[in-house]
Structure formats: structure tokens, C-alpha cells
């Protein structure tokens, strides 16, 4: 999820005053950097893995460095990794890393990103040809020196050159929203191939990760070669990485090039295959360990028994049941620790728990449909109540409502509510928090509304202090009920206005405000880690679509799935509540 960062752009471990300030993050980064360097020296992969694992153990531990008095006795931290930590704590730097840095040129590290090059091959290039950077690698390829090395050939040389050409041109990962249409397009292509019996997108996309580096499809067929050919012919393929009877790996031309893997399996293998390729990697490792303890072996094809026979399953449900586990939704399959949280699955938020949407727009501001049309569409979705929340006057580009127009709208909402059966329509606003930290409507007008959302849509680049002053103005106003899209981020495009989210969550807890998980796939704001913190602090969350049209009401599902990633309990999700409970929660003076 995070961008991979390399030591070169990592910034110094020294603070401005030159004093060494070692925190947990630095220890984690150091361990990871050591692993990276060892990989390039062709070290034993298990040794490399041990350093990665130690970093992971620290990351996993919720405590800060100061709270960890037993850091050296944690499982996964031993003599070698412990020495690095001790070194860092005592001297502020790692002797081992220093040594490794002297042996490994900085320029080698980015080369790990070139497909087909791993630690061993890069080590060889360095040792045999003195390659120490992307530039020297390019020169060596152009001089045809690389193909002379044992283990390399003409083809490797060409592939490396092509990869160097594309270096930095392509983003590592694409946002979920950008992949969605590609998934749909590929689904249609698969549907049209007669030899395909069924298919399922898996991978991090199925886990509703906000960014994915590729797409993985499991395809059930009896004729993999035919399907392989048909896919290659029907898709806008701009490159093929691997092609066989079991898999096809291609790069597909979309808005951005997208890497797509297809795995061909039989009907019996389907459940095991989708589990395997949905991951996460760490989840799979954990599952395999559990299998191993029982004398079994999990692969993408099934569960191998001690006698060599292979069990297959009708569904992922049955697969988990075989290990005496409940079904874990893809969204919670993360670092493997989820397997210890089976008792929380019962209360985990599910799409069918949602009974309202508290943030949507109509033709009154920048929406596409009328109040009645939105309400009727929500009724179709089975909701019991909704809030109409058009923009306020400051947002001119969105035709924001003046106080006069808002009063007119209130009348119209009341009227629509009395006319449309089967759903309660509430009056609200999405009111701007202005750049000067005042609110767009006065208290008197706000008191006439059922639900007040406050949001920032302007002057994102203000210093954090000012942004927080604005958010505080909203949070501390007794009429404001919720802060929408609290950071203003657009995934993969912009970071938003970078508030101090931890502080905002504290305030929300203190002033009894709701924070939004905006379900628009472009936003998914708040992000996962903040949702976890909000849950810890007992701050209620509303999952809202912010729909500007009837079609966008379907964003709700993505929002709920994303919320599962943060293990949100349905009881803390405001829009699972009944209308009565919702109104009594709001219960402010009117």
C-alpha cells in the first residue's frame, strides 16, 4: 500500500539539530534495508527473510518503542537482528548496515524493480561487470556484455533494455477505481469465450485494496490452451510475460497499461485456486503453516493429505471449514493475524447491514437527479432513510445553495418525504468549512436541518495548523453532526489537505461527532489505518456514497468492503442503525 522507498530518498536518520532520534520506524526501515542489501549480495534467502520478518514483527506490534521493554525477546528477533536494534538504540546507527552499504552501491537497489532481475543476478552483474547503476547496466547491455555472462542470454539483455526504457514511466500500482473498468472489460471478454465455464477476479483487487499492482483472474476451463489463445486474441495485449497451459500473463492496454494474470484450473480446483490467488501472501503463509502442523499441504490445487491424495472443495467456505475455521472475507485476509480474530467476524460490517445513506447530492446543487429520484432509488436498495445533503453557497462551481435556496429545499424535502412511501427523507446539507475557519451557514439555519455535514473543498495547501483550525470550527459547532471525507484525498492522484487525523479523531470523540468513510472509490476517505484508530477511540463512522447520481449509490458496497479491512464492527457504523436510533443519537437541541 505504501510506496516502496529506497534509502536514497529515505531522508536522513538525523534530525535537524544533528541529534539522533531513533524510533520504531527507523528500526523497521533499517532491518528492511539490511535485508535489501543482503539480497543484492546473494545472501541465503532465509537469512534475508529473517531480517524482513523481524521488521514485520515490530510493525505488527501496536506498542511504541518506549512501551516495548521486551523488544529483544519478541518471537522473530534473535541474536543478529537484536544486535542491530541494540546498535541503533545505543549508537543511533547500525554497524551492520554501514558495512553493507559500503559493499553495495546505492545504484543497485532500484535495479531490483526490473522484472527478471533478483538479488542473485544483480549480484552477478555487479561482480562480473562492475555494474553499479541503471546507467552502467544500460551501457553494458548496449555493448552486449551482459549476454556473455553465464545464466544470461540475448533475450535477457533485450528485456533489461526494454525495462530500463520504461523505468519510472509507469506507476507501480493503480488505484482500485482505475482498475474497476478494466476488470469489467476482462469479465466481458471471459464471458464471451465458450470454453470458459466460470471465472473470478482475485488478488488484492478482490481484497478491496486501494491500489493494486496487477489483476489476477481464475478461469475454470477444460481447454486451457484454447482459452489462452482466445484471451490473447480478444484482449488489447501490449506484452506477454508468460504463456502456458496453467497460466497467461499479459500487459493489457487500458488508460494505463495493466498487468493481468490468468490461471486456468478445473472446476474441482476452483475454490482452492481463488483462495490461493486472493491472498494475501501473508495470509496464505499462515494458512499453510496451519496445514503443515496437521500434516497437510496447501497448494493452489487443493489440500494434499499425508497419503498424497489431494482434497478439493466446493467453496472457499468449505476450504476454511476443513481447517476448523469460519469463512474469512477476502477483505480481512491481510497479515495472517486475522486468523486469531475469528470471534470478531460475527459483528463485522456487511453490505446487507446498511440501511441508510447520509450523504448525497441532487439537481439542487451538482447532482444529476431529483430528490424524489434519489429517494426512490434508495428505497429500491432497501434503505429505511436517507439524508439529502447538497452543497452550500461557497461552492459556486457546484451550484451551492444560498440560505434562501436551502430553505426552499427544506420545504421540498418535507414535501417529497410525505409523498414518497417506504423511506424517510431527511433534510441536510454538505456545508463548506471556509478558508478563514468559519462555516458557510449560521447556527440558526443549521438548527432547521436534521443532519449537518461539514467539509473542506478549498485551499487544500494551507498549513496544517490552519486546516486544523478549520476542522475545529466544524467539530466544535453543536449543530455539525459529521465531517465528510476528512482528508480530501483522491487515491493515486492527490494527498488531500493533510490534517492531523489523530487529533481530529480525538476531537470527534470529545465532541461526539461522526466521521465519514466516503465510499466513493476515488476517495475511500478515511483511510484504513484511521478507521482503525477511530474504532479504537469509539468514534462512530458513517459509510456514505456522496452520490451525485442514482448510479453512484452503488459505491456503498465498495465502502463497506473497505471498512471490513479495518475490522469495523457494524454497531459503530451509523448507517446500520434504525431511523429511531439515528435520530436519538443526533438528539441535539433544535
Task: State the burial class of residue 301 (Cβ atoms within 10 Å of its Cβ: 0-12, 13-18, 19+).
Answer: middle
What minimum distance in Å lies between the beta carbon of 336 and DNA? Answer: 10
If binding means CB under 7 A, how many residues of this protein chain bind DNA?
A: 63
Q: Enumerate residues 366-385 that contact DNA by CB under 7 A.
A: none
Binding-site string for DNA from residue 107 to residue 146, where x marks contact by CB under 7 A and - marks none: -----x-xxxxxxxxx------------------------
Q: Which is nearer to DNA, 44 or 418 (CB)?
A: 44
Task: State the Cα–Cα distance between residues 481 and 49, nearest whole angstrom.
Answer: 48
What minimum distance in Å lies between the beta carbon of 49 and DNA? Answer: 6
User: 287: part of which helix (H) or strand (E)?
Assistant: helix 281-293
SS3 content of the chain, % helix, strand, coil (to 5): 50, 15, 35
What minimum distance in Å lies between the beta carbon of 246 and DNA? Answer: 3
What's phi and psi for 160, nearest 5 deg?
A: -65, -45
Which residues, in sequence order, are bridge partners of residue 240? 250
Strand order across the beta sheet in which 514-518 lies: 356-357, 385-391, 424-432, 451-455, 482-483, 514-518, 541-544
Q: Which is nearer to DNA, 153 or 478 (CB)?
A: 153
Instruction: Say how many C-beta atoms besides its own lie within 10 A of residue 15's C-beta.
Output: 9
Q: Are strands 451-455 and 424-432 parallel, antiparallel or unpaired?
A: parallel
Answer yes or no whether residue 569 interacts with DNA by CB under 7 A: no
Q: Which is nearer to DNA, 141 or 527 (CB)?
A: 141
* DSSP reduced 3-state for 418: helix
What minimum distance in Å lies between the beta carbon of 162 and DNA? Answer: 11
Which residues, in sequence order, are bridge partners of residue 427? 388
* C-alpha closest to that of 352 among 579, 564, 567: 564
Q: Enumerate residues 263-282 that contact DNA by CB under 7 A.
A: 277, 281
Task: State the Cα–Cα distance between residues 212 and 174, nearest whole angstrom.
Answer: 5
Segment interacting with DNA (CB under 7 A) among 63-71, 155-163, 537-545, 546-554: 155-163
Instruction: Say how many C-beta atoms besides its own lie within 10 A of residue 250's C-beta.
Output: 22
Find the radius of gyration of the CA atoms of the chain: 27
Among 11, 151, 168, 463, binds DNA (CB under 7 A): 151
Enumerate residues 6+ apart whose C-beta is below 8 A from 398: 361, 365, 366, 391
Is the dihedral angle over the CA atoms 445, 447, 448, 452 positive or is it negative? positive
Among 126, 152, 211, 550, binds DNA (CB under 7 A): 152
Segment interacting with DNA (CB under 7 A) among 153-161, 267-275, 530-538, 562-570: 153-161
Q: Which is nearer to DNA, 41 or 583 (CB)?
A: 41
What minimum distance in Å lies between the beta carbon of 372 and DNA? Answer: 47
Q: What angle do CA 519, 479, 511 make, to 5 degrees?
A: 75
Among 247, 322, 466, 537, binds DNA (CB under 7 A): 247
Q: Which is nearer to DNA, 4 or 443 (CB)?
A: 4
Which residues, in sequence order, are bridge partners of residue 260? 215, 250
Q: Which is nearer to DNA, 136 or 299 (CB)?
A: 299
Among 143, 285, 321, 502, binds DNA (CB under 7 A): 285
Q: Do the beta carbons of residue 8 and residue 106 sit within 8 Å?
A: yes
What minimum distance in Å lies between the beta carbon of 109 and DNA? Answer: 13
Binding-site string for DNA from residue 59 to residue 98, where x marks contact by CB under 7 A and - marks none: ---------------xxxxxxxxx----------------
Cell 452543497 found at = 391
Which residues, in sequence order, are bridge partners of residue 518? 525, 544
Q: Enumerate residues 290-309 that contact DNA by CB under 7 A.
A: 292, 297-301, 304
Segment interacting with DNA (CB under 7 A) among 18-26, 164-172, 183-191, 286-294: 286-294
Among 154, 184, 407, 414, binds DNA (CB under 7 A): 154
Task: State the Cα–Cα distance between residues 379 and 157, nearest whole angstrom.
Answer: 60
Binding-site string for DNA from residue 39 to residue 58, where x marks contact by CB under 7 A and - marks none: -----x-xx-xxx-xx----
Answer yes or no whether residue 171 interacts with DNA by CB under 7 A: no
Q: Which is nearer to DNA, 284 or 362 (CB)?
A: 284
Chain contacts with DNA (rule: CB under 7 A): 44, 46-47, 49-51, 53-54, 74-82, 112, 114-122, 147, 150-157, 159, 203, 213-214, 216, 241-247, 259, 261, 277, 281, 284-285, 288-289, 292, 297-301, 304
Amino acid at each position: 500500500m505504501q510506496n516502496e522507498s529506497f534509502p536514497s530518498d529515505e531522508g536522513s536518520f538525523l534530525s535537524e539539530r544533528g541529534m539522533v532520534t531513533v524510533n520504531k520506524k527507523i528500526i523497521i526501515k533499517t532491518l528492511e534495508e539490511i535485508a535489501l542489501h543482503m539480497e543484492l549480495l546473494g545472501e541465503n534467502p532465509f537469512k534475508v527473510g529473517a531480517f524482513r520478518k523481524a521488521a514485520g514483527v515490530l510493525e505488527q506490534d501496536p506498542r511504541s518503542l518506549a512501551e516495548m521493554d521486551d523488544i529483544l525477546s519478541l518471537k522473530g528477533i534473535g541474536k543478529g537482528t537484536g544486535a542491530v536494534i541494540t546498535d541503533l538504540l545505543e549508537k543511533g546507527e547500525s554497524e551492520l548496515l554501514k558495512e553493507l552499504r559500503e559493499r553495495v552501491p546505492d545504484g543497485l537497489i532500484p535495479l531490483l524493480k526490473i522484472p527478471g532481475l533478483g538479488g542473485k543476478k544483480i549480484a552477478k552483474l555487479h561482480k562480473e561487470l562492475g555494474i553499479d547503476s541503471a546507467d552502467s547496466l544500460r551501457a553494458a547491455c548496449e555493448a552486449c556484455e551482459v549476454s556473455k555472462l553465464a545464466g544470461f542470454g540475448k533475450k535477457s539483455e533485450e528485456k533489461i533494455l526494454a525495462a530500463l526504457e520504461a523505468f519510472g514511466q509507469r506507476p507501480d500500482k493503480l488505484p482500485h477505481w482505475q482498475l474497476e473498468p478494466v476488470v469489467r472489460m476482462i469479465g466481458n471478454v471471459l464471458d464471451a469465450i465458450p470454453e470458459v465455464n466460470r471465472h473470478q477476479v482475485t488478488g488484492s483487487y478482490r481484497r478491496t485494496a486501494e491500489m493494486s499492482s496487477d489483476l489476477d483472474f481464475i478461469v475454470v476451463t477444460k481447454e486451457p490452451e484454447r482459452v489462452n489463445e482466445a484471451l490473447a486474441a480478444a484482449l488489447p495485449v501490449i506484452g506477454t510475460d508468460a504463456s502456458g497451459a496453467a497460466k497467461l500473463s499479459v500487459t493489457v492496454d487500458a488508460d494505463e497499461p495493466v498487468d493481468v494474470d490468468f490461471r486456468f484450473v478445473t472446476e474441482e480446483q476452483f475454490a482452492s485456486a481463488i483462495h490461493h490467488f486472493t491472498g494475501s501472501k501473508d495470509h496464505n503463509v499462515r494458512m499453510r503453516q496451519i496445514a503443515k502442523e496437521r500434516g497437510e499441504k496447501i497448494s493452489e490445487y487443493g489440500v494434499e493429505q499425508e497419503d498424497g491424495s489431494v482434497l478439493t472443495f466446493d467453496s472457499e467456505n468449505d476450504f476454511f471449514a476443513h481447517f476448523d475455521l469460519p469463512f474469512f472475507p477476502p477483505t480481512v485476509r491481510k497479515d495472517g493475524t486475522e486468523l486469531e480474530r475469528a470471534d470478531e467476524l460475527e459483528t463485522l460490517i456487511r453490505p446487507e447491514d446498511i440501511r441508510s445513506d447520509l450523504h448525497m447530492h441532487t439537481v439542487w446543487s451538482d447532482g444529476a437527479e431529483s430528490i424524489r429520484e434519489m429517494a426512490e432509488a434508495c428505497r429500491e436498495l432497501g434503505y429505511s432513510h436517507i439524508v439529502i445533503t447538497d452543497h452550500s453557497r461557497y461552492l459556486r462551481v457546484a451550484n451551492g445553495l444560498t440560505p434562501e435556496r436551502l430553505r426552499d429545499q427544506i420545504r421540498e424535502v418535507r414535501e417529497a418525504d410525505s409523498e414518497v412511501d417506504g423511506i424517510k427523507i431527511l433534510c441536510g446539507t454538505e456545508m463548506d468549512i471556509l478558508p478563514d475557519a468559519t462555516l458557510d451557514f449560521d447556527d440558526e439555519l443549521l438548527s432547521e436541518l436534521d443532519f449537518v455535514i461539514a467539509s473542506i473543498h478549498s485551499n487544500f495547501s494551507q498549513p496544517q495548523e490552519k486546516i486544523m483550525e478549520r476542522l475545529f470550527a466544524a467539530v466544535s459547532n453543536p449543530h455539525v453532526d459529521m465531517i465528510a471525507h476528512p482528508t480530501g484525498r483522491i487515491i493515486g492522484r492527490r494527498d488531500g489537505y493533510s490534517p492531523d487525523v489523530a487529533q481530529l479523531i480525538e476531537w470527534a470523540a470529545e465532541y461526539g461527532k461522526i466521521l465519514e468513510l466516503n465510499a466513493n472509490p476515488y476517495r475511500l476517505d478515511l483511510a484504513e489505518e484511521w478507521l482503525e484508530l477511530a474504532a479504537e477511540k469509539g468514534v462512530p463512522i458513517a459509510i456514505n456514497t456522496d452520490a451525485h447520481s442514482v448510479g453512484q449509490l452503488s459505491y456503498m458496497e465498495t465502502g463497506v468492503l473497505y471498512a471490513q479491512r479495518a475490522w469495523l464492527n457494524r454497531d459503530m457504523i451509523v448507517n446500520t442503525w434504525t431511523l429511531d436510533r439515528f435520530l436519538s443519537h443526533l438528539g441535539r437541541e433544535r
